[in-house]
Amino acid sequence: MDARFTELLTPYLPYLGDRELTADTPLREYGLDSMQAIELMLSVEDTYGVELPDEQLTEETFSTAGKLWDALSGQLGGQGSDTAPAADAV
């Protein structure tokens, strides 16, 4: 996950507090509700200039930070969460 992504995601997680945002951070537990999930998706799409395919828009995708990053990086040229940050690919 790149810095831009964690920066974008953090405001949607009001219960995260001082904890570090990692790939395993469960998004709903830390306060992402369904309406915010849509805002988050649009914001991710705007920031990275991609469109997340409908097939990816499942509960699973929004379950953890890492899963959402995986879905995003899939659109950024196939880079997974354990590869280099994808920000330069835009």
Partner 1 sequence: MSGVTGQGPRTDLLAAVEQVRALAAKHAEETDEAARFPVAVLDELRTTGLLGLLVPAEYGGLGGGLDELLDITMELGRADMSVAMIFSMHCQQVAGVVHHAGPRLAGELLPLVAAGRMYLASVTTEAGKGGHLLTATAGLTAEDDGLDIDRFAPIVTGGEYADGFLITMRSPEARSAGDVSLVYAHRDQLTITPSGDWNPLGMRASHSTALRLTGRIPEHQVVGEHGQFRTVVLNTFGPLAHLGWAASWLGTASGALSRVLRLLRSPDGRKGANLDSELLMTRLSRSRQRLETVHALMRHTAEVVTRVRAEGDDLSRPRYQMLINSLKITASEECHRAVEDLIDAVGLRHGYLKGSPTGLERALRDLRSAALNYSNDRLHLADGKLALLDAEVRFA
Query: Rule CB under 8 A: which residues touch partner 1?
Result: 14-15, 28-31, 33-35, 38, 41, 54, 57-60
Our CB check for partner 1 shows the closer of 41 and 76 to be 41
Our CB check for partner 1 shows the closer of 33 and 82 to be 33
CB of 44 to partner 1, least distance (A): 13
CB of 14 to partner 1, least distance (A): 8
CB of 81 to partner 1, least distance (A): 20
Axis-axis angle for helices 65-75, 34-48 (nearest 10): 40
Distance of CA 52 to the CA centre of its chain: 11
Our CB check for partner 1 shows the closer of 3 and 35 to be 35
Which letter, b or e, does each residue of 39-71 get, where b requires 16 or more Cβ atoms within 10 Å of its Cβ? ebbeebeeebebebeeebeeeebbbbbbbbbbb
